[in-house]
Structure 1
Amino acid sequence: MSSKIRAITAAVAACTTATAFSALTASSASAHGSGDGPAHSPKVLNSRVIAPFGMSISGQDVWYTDGFVGTVNKISKGADTVVTTGPQPEVAGIDVIQGGATYAFTSSNDDHSSTSLTIRSKGRPDVVADFSGYEKTVNPDKHATYGIVSGGKSCAPGELDAFFMKAFQIPATYKGQVDSHPYAVAYLGDGAWAVADAGGNDILRVDRRGHVSTIAVLPPQPVTMTAAQVAAMGAPSCLAGAKYNFEPVPTDVERGADGKLWVSTLPGGPEDPSLGARGSVYSVNPWKHSTQRMATGFLGATDLALGQDGAVYVAELFGGKVTRLKHGRTSTVVTTDRPLSIEVQGESLYVGTLADVTFGPAGPVVNAPGSITRYRL
C-alpha cells in the first residue's frame, strides 16, 4: 500500500472538505511566544508557490523547489527568481552549500521511471546520479516483506488479493518493489550527499562523481488492523486483527552535528487521518547502516528540520501544524493549513505550505496558492 508523494495532494484535496481534517487545522499562525513556546512574528516571503516540497537556507537566501512546476527558486533580498528548471517535471529535494555556489536537487518524471540527483556547481559540469537505474539494479528493500504478514486467514481464498489489487494495484503480501522517488537531499560533507528515496524506502549516498550506494533501508511500519481501520479503508471485514506491514516512505533527511542522520517518514498507507497519526522520525547511523525510531504519532510527516538546541521540528501536513520534538516531548509551534516543508536557521523557522488543489476530470485546479513564511522561535 505504498503511498508515493505526488498522491499526497489528492489526499489533501479530499481532506480539506472533511470535517475531521478541518477540525485538525487552523488558517492562522500561532500566538506570540518565545524560546520553547509557539513561533511568532510571521512574515510571508512568497504567496504564490504551488508545491514547495523542499527548502534550504543559505545566509539570508531561501532556496526552495516548486515541485509541480519543476523549478528551483531563490528568494534573495525580497526578490523571488527561478534558478533552474529541472530535467524532469517534478523537482522535490534541495540543499545548498558554499553560499549557493553548489546545490543539489532531486527530480522525477511522472511514472518514476527516470529519477535523479543533479549536483550543480558554478563553473563545473553537472554531476547526475541515476537513482532509477540503481533501483532497478540493486532494489535495496527487495528482501522486506510488506502487506499482510499474519492473520486474515478467515478471508475467502483470493479475497484480500482481489481487494488490494483493485484498490491499490498491489497484492495482499509482497516484497519490496522496484520504485524510485527521490524526495529530499542533505549535504554530508566531503562532496557526498544523502538522499531520501520515498519510492525505494531507503536513504542513499551519492559521492562527488555521482556514484550511488545505500546508507540504510527504513523498516516496515507494522499495524494490527482494527475493525474501525478496516471499515475506513473499505476492506473486507475479515482483515480485522491482521498484521499489515506498511512501507516506511522517507520524506526528508537531515545531517546532525554528530554526523548521524534524521529522517521523517510517512506511514506508507493512506496518508490522511483515516488510519490515525502514524508518521515517524528516525535516527540513522550511516556507519553501521542502522535505524532507530525516535518518535511517532505524526499526522503526515512530510519534512523535518534540526534546531541548534537539539530540537527536531516536524511538518505535519494532515495535522495542520509544525511540531517541536525535544527531550522526548512534543509541542506545537505553528498551526497553518497544509504545512509541507520546513527549515530552521538560528531563531528563524521557515514553513512552506502546499496550495489548495482540487483534482477533477480536466486535471488539478489551484484554488489558492501556497506560501513560504518565516517565523521567529
Structure 2
Amino acid sequence: MSFSVAVCNSPVFSPSSSLFCNKASNIYPAHETLTVSLSHLNPPASSPSAASPASPFCLRLQKPPPKLGFRSSSGPGGVLKRKRPTRLDIPVAPPVGIAAPMSDAAAVNTETPREEYYREVEREGDGYSVYCKRGRREAMEDRFSAITNLKGDPKQAIFGVYDGHGGSKAAEFAAKNLCNNILSEIVGERNESKIEEAVKRGYLTTDSEFLNEKDVKGGSCCVTAMISDGNLVVANAGDCRAVLSVGGFAEALTSDHRPSRDDERNRIESSGGYVDTFHSVWRVQGSLAVSRGIGDTHFKQWIIAEPETKIIRINSQHEFLILASDGLWDKVSNQEAVDIARPFCIGTDQKQKALLACKKLVDLSVSRGSLDDISVMLIPLGCFF
C-alpha cells in the first residue's frame, strides 16, 4: 500500500480619506512661516515695504520643517527643494515557482523549509495524477491525499482533495487523517446505507479530532472518492466537487454546499444563524461562503462536517473522475472540464497524459481570472475495473 499526502494554499483596505483632506495648517507646524507679497496684484497707496502680515494682500505660507527633508534657498524667489529619501532595504521573498518534492512511499514532511511558498505541486501516482497551483495568497491552502493498493489490491484506492480557508491547518489535517478514518469505519461493510453511514462517521470523526487540536483555526472543504470492489463511493463537505466522465458526458457526483442553496440556508437559519450577501457572494454570518466543511470552530453551530455521499457501480462507460477545488469550478464548467481532459485520459499512456490534462484545466481557470488556489486530480477508471 502506498500513501501520499501533498502540500498544494482578502481583506480590502481603504486608506482614510482624511489623509488626503487635511488642510495645510495640519501638515506643518505653525511656528515658522514664509510671507509672500501680492502687492503687485493691487498696489497700495503707500510704499510696498509698508505691507504688513495683516494686509489683505499678503498670503502667509507655512515653512516646512527641516526634519521632513526640505530646504529653501535664501533670498527672494527662493525655491523649495526635496532631498532624496534614504534608500530602503526591502527583504527578498523566498523563491517560488518550483515543485515541492514528494515521495510515493510516505507522507510529505510538512516541515520542509519554505514549503508553504511553493507555487506549484504536481504528482503522478498509481492510478491518478494531480496538479496544484497557488493563487494570490502568500501560502498554499489546498492539499490532496491518495492511498492506493489497498489490502494489496491495485484495484482499490481512496483519494481526496481539500480546500482550506483561514489558513492551511484544517486542509493539512484532513489530508493526513480523513481517508484513514473513512477506511477504519468502513471495514467489512457491504450494504450501501451502512457504507454511507461509515463515510459520515469518518468525516465527523476527523472534524472532532481537528477541533480538539491545539491552536486550531480555519476550516477546509473536502471531497473524497473511494474505489472498492467495483464501487465508486464519493462524498463531499463544502464546494470541492467530483465530476465523472460517462462516455464523454459530464456527470456531477457531488453538490456544492453553499449558503445560496435553499436547503442549506434553511438549515442555517433554523439553527439561529443568518445568510447574507457580501460583494455579491452569499455568506454564513456574513463571513463564510461555504456551509459545510471540516473545522471552523467559531461557526460550528452552522458549518457542519456531515457529508453527502453517492455510490455507483463503475463500468466501461465510466472513463475518468475529476476531483477539484472551487478554484477550478468557479471558472470552468463540468462539461468543459470533461471535454478538455478526455483526449488525455482515454487510450494509451494515460498516466503521463492525465497530468497534462490537469495542467491544461488549471491554466484555463487562471486565464479566466481565477485568483484562488487551484487543485485538480484526474483518476482514469479503466485500471480499476
Structure ID, larger Rg: 2
TM-score normalized by structure 2?
0.30
- As a proportion of its length, which structure holds more strand? 1
TM-score normalized by structure 1?
0.30
